[in-house]
Structure 1
Amino acid sequence: MRKILLISIVFLCAAPLCAQDVETSGNPVFEGWYADPEGAVFGDKYWIFPTFSAPYAEQVFMDAFSSPDLVNWQKHERIIDTAAVAWADSAMWAPSIIQKDDKYFLFFAANDIQKDEQMGGIGIGVSDEPGGPYKDHLGEPLLGKFHNGAQPIDQFVFEDKDGQHYMIYGGWGHCNITKLNDDFTGFEPFEDGTVFKEITPEGYVEGSFMFTRNDKYYFMWSEGGWGGPDYRVAYAMADSPLGPFERIGVVLEQDSSVATGAGHHSVIEVPEKEEWYIVYHRRPLGETDANHRVTSIDKMTFDEDGYIEPVTITFEGVEQQRLEQDK
């Protein structure tokens, strides 16, 4: 439900955080051109790991942002860059973050390879802290080849309830799922001996994301062209991370009175609460440069049957929501 519009400018500052006496986050949630945001919760902080949205030759580093309440955000500059990843020379984007064994693993795409013979693909940074700095985990791409027609980009790392980690990824209209080994140095085969299973649903373009709710697997992805007005997020549901996934419908798209090109999202669940947020990028009204994308947050809700209700994109953003600390 919308409230009276609160116009709030979010200022970023170095530690300590600057406190804001405002009721909502406002959209965008922080200043700057940032896209493909990956939201996460670590301890008593919300985190967002976005792509620095710029031409590929300039897109050579990543920043991160943390917040205790979704309203006040602190910027962590250059948590990783191409200087730390010898094989990456351009176009680092679409981060995905996972915590494992007191380490933080930041998966990313780099170099935008167009064929197997090129150097690039999906890599991993590792750090002792979510805010970095991250060093190259492998010294080479984790995945640098095409399988089932899927360009090795836009990876999402999903931990299932049994502790198994999966990587879901792909561009060029194809999506694969693969099982990561325990130390994230490679992959394990499925029971049938295959390593990369295609799970592409109707309409899939890029931007995979998966989460579970009430024993259902929700698979989400972006459709349309990332630089155009038809960019949007659709989803499917299944009883297994392997699907099959049959497209249900669109849950996030532009509103020509608010912003355009809404897509490439992630989802944050507030621990121990039935509160869900969708974190995504969009283009401010009047912007025509494809790289002029900003990060926004809005509420995501479900109907009584578990289907995701269409998201209303707003200028207000979301209300202040602090995380409960473990006692």
Structure 2
Amino acid sequence: MKQVIFFLFILAYAKTMAQTAVTSKNNNPVFKGWYADPEGIIFDKTYWIYPTFSAPYADQVFLDAFSSKDLTNWTKHSRILDTTGVKWAKRAIWAPSIIKNKNKYFLFFGANDIQNDQEMGGIGVAVASKPEGPYKDYLGKPLVDKFHNGAQPIDQFVFRDKDGQCYLIYGGWKHCNIAKLKPDFTGFVPFKDQTIFKEITPENYVEGPFMFIKNNKYYFMWSEGGWTGPDYCVAYAIADSPMGPFKRIGKILEQDPKIAVGAGHHSVIKVPDSDTYYIVYHRRPLTETHANSRETCVEEMHFDENGFIKPIVITNEGVKPHIIK
């Protein structure tokens, strides 16, 4: 009898240790490999992350995607878009942004890293019938291929407003533009003053814009600092309209010299029918010095009683499993 009791005790202890091991598992980075500029989104109760494949430009010529039912176990979907299928994209592609529209999935991306209006490249659009692709070039040319208001045509984000109107928010080189997309995403609708691109650049903006709505307020977020350095970070502003004006409130995501550096270029996931928000971002491990050694991580994002975003603590533990109901 004593042997049976001892055996049952050992089984119970082993089960407890196994459960402890699961709950204490480090979930950051959320998947293996060097990936940056992640856009997180939910499609059909599934979490998706669309990141940049972080590599030298000669190798950064495709995009992978990752899906998860619980925000912890991820499935890789390889090469959902490749520059071999985008005739005008000859150099790197990066910073994807995705939106579902009329049962199609539209993936916006930057390509070629153009430095002036004479070079071919800019912001493109690809389309697929499933979130995992494969994606095909939608326009056969860039959607934006020139510098407007000083903004390099990179770091695109597609924002859907409460009335269903979709906007393209984008820009590098410390300038950010907003433009109204046509319903079919083939071009733009002029604003009332007949302009196409309006500048909404807040103080200290560098790149990586993102926008979401909470309590009828427009939260505009962006990256500051240099992406290759430890000072890369995320700041934000709040306004009553997607047009702003956006007055910078402060930083909410930055390096922790004990955890990682270069924390930035993010996105935000809101879990449906809940007040749970996650920030998806990239960072550089302390063991790495190469600019492209960036990994994708997730933390929970919280707000204070006034609606301001609380500073985010970057961790190795990441977030707990969360299945969408």
| TM-score range relative to shorter protein | over 0.9
What are the Cα deviations for residues 34-77 of structure 1, in whole angstroms up to 9, with x where unaligned?
A: 00000000002000000000001110000000000001100000
Partner of 1:153: 154
C-alpha distance 124-23 of structure 1, shift in aligned 2 (>3 A)? farther
The one-letter code matched in structure 2 to 1:276 is: Y
Summarize the alignment of residues 42-61 of structure 1 with structure 2, pairs less than 5 Å apart: 42-61=43-62
Partner of 2:66: 65
The one-letter code matched in structure 2 to 1:148 is: N
> Contact 1:233/1:264 (CA < 8 Å) preserved in 2?
yes
Summarize the alignment of residues 136-147 of structure 1 with structure 2, pairs less than 5 Å apart: 136-147=137-148
- Provide runs of 4+ in structure 1 moved above 6 Å: none
Partner of 1:196: 197
- SS, match of residue 248 in structure 1: strand
- Quote the offset at 1:190 in angstroms: 0.7
> Contact 1:105/1:125 (CA < 8 Å) preserved in 2?
yes
What are the Cα deviations for residues 56-115 of structure 1, in whole angstroms up to 9, with x where unaligned?
A: 111000000000000110000000010110100111000000000000000000000001
Distance in 1, matches of 2:35 and 2:283, equals 9
Percent identity among equivalent residues? 67
Summarize the alignment of residues 117-128 of structure 1 with structure 2, pairs less than 5 Å apart: 117-128=118-129
Matched, 1:250 2:244: no
Distance in 2, matches of 1:24 and 1:187, equals 46
In the superposition, the TM-score normalised over structure 2's length comes to 0.93
Distance in 1, matches of 2:215 and 2:24, equals 31
- SS, match of residue 126 in structure 2: strand
Partner of 1:16: none
Distance in 1, matches of 2:62 and 2:163, equals 34
Distance in 1, matches of 2:35 and 2:242, equals 29
- SS, match of residue 212 in structure 1: strand
Summarize the alignment of residues 8-23 of structure 1 with structure 2, pairs less than 5 Å apart: 22=23
Partner of 1:75: 76
Partner of 1:271: 272
What are the Cα deviations for residues 169-201 of structure 1, in whole angstroms up to 9, with x where unaligned?
A: 000010000000011000001111111000000
Q: Structure 1: which 5+ runs fail to align?
A: 1-7, 9-19
- SS, match of residue 158 in structure 1: strand
Distance in 1, matches of 2:73 and 2:308, equals 31
In our comparison, the structure showing a higher alpha carbon Rg is 2
Partner of 1:320: 321
> Contact 1:167/1:178 (CA < 8 Å) preserved in 2?
yes
Q: Structure 2: which 5+ runs fail to align?
A: 1-17
The one-letter code matched in structure 1 to 2:241 is: S
- Quote the offset at 1:255 in angstroms: 0.2
Partner of 1:31: 32
Partner of 1:239: 240
C-alpha distance 198-122 of structure 1, shift in aligned 2 (>3 A)? same
- Quote the offset at 1:23 in angstroms: 6.1
> Contact 1:236/1:247 (CA < 8 Å) preserved in 2?
yes
Distance in 1, matches of 2:246 and 2:256, equals 27
- Quote the offset at 1:21 in angstroms: 5.0
The one-letter code matched in structure 1 to 2:212 is: F
Identify, as 1 or 2, the structure richer in helix.
2
The one-letter code matched in structure 1 to 2:30 is: V
Partner of 2:103: 102
The one-letter code matched in structure 2 to 1:268 is: I
What are the Cα deviations for residues 226-248 of structure 1, in whole angstroms up to 9, with x where unaligned?
A: 00011000000000000000000
Summarize the alignment of residues 84-233 of structure 1 with structure 2, pairs less than 5 Å apart: 84-233=85-234
What are the Cα deviations for residues 134-177 of structure 1, in whole angstroms up to 9, with x where unaligned?
A: 00000000010010000000010000010000000000010000
The one-letter code matched in structure 2 to 1:41 is: I
> Contact 1:25/1:319 (CA < 8 Å) preserved in 2?
no
Distance in 2, matches of 1:118 and 1:24, equals 47
Distance in 2, matches of 1:288 and 1:243, equals 37
- Quote the offset at 1:286 in angstroms: 2.0
The one-letter code matched in structure 1 to 2:314 is: I
Partner of 2:309: 308
What are the Cα deviations for residues 15-35 of structure 1, in whole angstroms up to 9, with x where unaligned?
A: xxxxx9556661000000000
Distance in 1, matches of 2:279 and 2:211, equals 12
